Amino acid sequence: MISRILDANGIRIHAMDEGIGPLVLFVHGFPESWFSWRHQMQALAAAGYRAVAIDVRGYGRSSKPPEVEAYRMLAHVADNVGVVEALGETEAVIVGHDWGSPIAAASALLRPDVFRAVALLSVPYGAPGGTRPTDSFRAMGGDEEFYINYFQQPGRAEAEIEADVRSWLLGFYVSASAAGRPGSDGGSMATVRPGGLLKDRFTTLDHFPAWLPENDFEFYVSEFERTGFSGALNRYRNVDRDWEDLKAWSRQPIRVPSLFIGGDRDGPTVWGARAIARYPETLPALVGSHILTNCGHWVQQERAEEVNELLLAFLSKTG
């Protein structure tokens, strides 16, 4: 596996590169890293693909522009196009998880000439359009505050997380996994009580989950203790800008071959049931939609072998 620093879209993007063959570009979500794809990179490289996983702008060793608006969706799409070019390639299959899923989807929607197929993990595709996102999230929160709206004010979530990065990350990872449980008051970790903190409803374990050994967890801790969280959180702070930027593609389907993988115990998969039901219209070239049982949000880590099998089967059908 080779570590590369690429000049992509005028910024520095760190990428891990393994294997020789058709390019598969992996895009992680929050709060993660290229490392989230470690299991997939090995499997795909062994099967004859060039697997490249990036640190998204704001993360790891990639650039961290200070301006909030530098993290709008159009910038991420341009980053991905720049990465393909910097690698000396002309096209790729793009795979995204969590925030990486909408980034991958937008990349395939806006640049199907570069991204010839797309796999979306955990966050279903919904065509641009509809209600302003922060208004939708406000309605979803009801009397409480939906976590994406909680993340909107710069510095607010950073203060909570960076007070104890290690404890917060472990709580977030466990709570969003299949081991997650409702809070003691029966509430969801997706909402914050008035005057409360997101971590108030985290699930705690007295051991590391099998899918996240302590050594792997410590990699994430070391990354975020070094970088902080502002770059990562700035992605959330652009949801309304994205809504404006993508109006020209309102309600447009993704026409390249596509794949969806979610977990039946994952909030975004459950909330996205209506989006999944619309896949015949929004993803007309869908190859497969798979909901893994007893699986949480971190599908490619919680169920690495199954995800690898599904990805390889998808890649074999897309050429």
Q: For residue 286, what is the domain's CATH number?
A: 3.40.50.1820
Contact (CB, 8 A) for 115 and 108: yes
- Residue 169 sits at the vertex; the CA angle it makes with 301 and 135, to the nearest 5 degrees, is 95
200 is known as an active-site residue: no
Cα gap 102→202, rounded to integer Å: 25
Pure H helices in 66-203: 73-86, 100-110, 133-141, 147-150, 156-162, 165-175
290 is known as an active-site residue: no
Cα gap 189→186, rounded to integer Å: 10
Query: Which pLDDT does position 6 carry in this prediction?
Result: 97
Query: Which pLDDT does position 183 carry in this prediction?
Result: 67
Question: How many of the other CB atoms lie within 10 Å of CB of 194?
Answer: 7
Query: Which pLDDT does position 140 carry in this prediction?
Result: 84
Query: Which pLDDT does position 20 carry in this prediction?
Result: 96
Q: DSSP assignment of 259-287, as one string?
A: EEEEETT-HHHHHTHHHHHTHHHH-TTEE
Q: DSSP assignment of 17-50, as one string?
A: EE-SSSEEEEE--TT--GGGGHHHHHHHHHTT-E
Local structure of 215: helix, strand or coil: helix
Number of structural domains in the chain: 1
Contact (CB, 8 A) for 116 and 255: no
Take residue 209 and report the two structure tokens written for it: 């989950």
Cβ burial 162-172 (10 Å sphere, 16+ → b, else e): eeebeebbbbb
Cα gap 296→285, rounded to integer Å: 26
Query: Which pLDDT does position 129 carry in this prediction?
Result: 78
> pLDDT averaged over consecutive 10-residue blocks of the chain (319 residues)?
95 97 98 97 97 98 96 98 97 97 97 98 89 88 91 95 95 91 75 91 88 96 96 96 93 96 89 90 96 96 97 92
Cα gap 229→218, rounded to integer Å: 16
Local structure of 64: helix, strand or coil: coil
Range of the domain at 89: 2-318
Q: Find the catalytic residue in 14, 28, 97, 297.
A: 297
Query: Which pLDDT does position 213 carry in this prediction?
Result: 95
Nearest CA to 77 among 46, 35, 119, 106? Answer: 106
Cα gap 229→159, rounded to integer Å: 10
Q: Find the catalytic residue in 17, 79, 98, 242.
A: 98
Query: Which pLDDT does position 205 carry in this prediction?
Result: 85
Take residue 274 and report the two structure tokens written for it: 């209506």
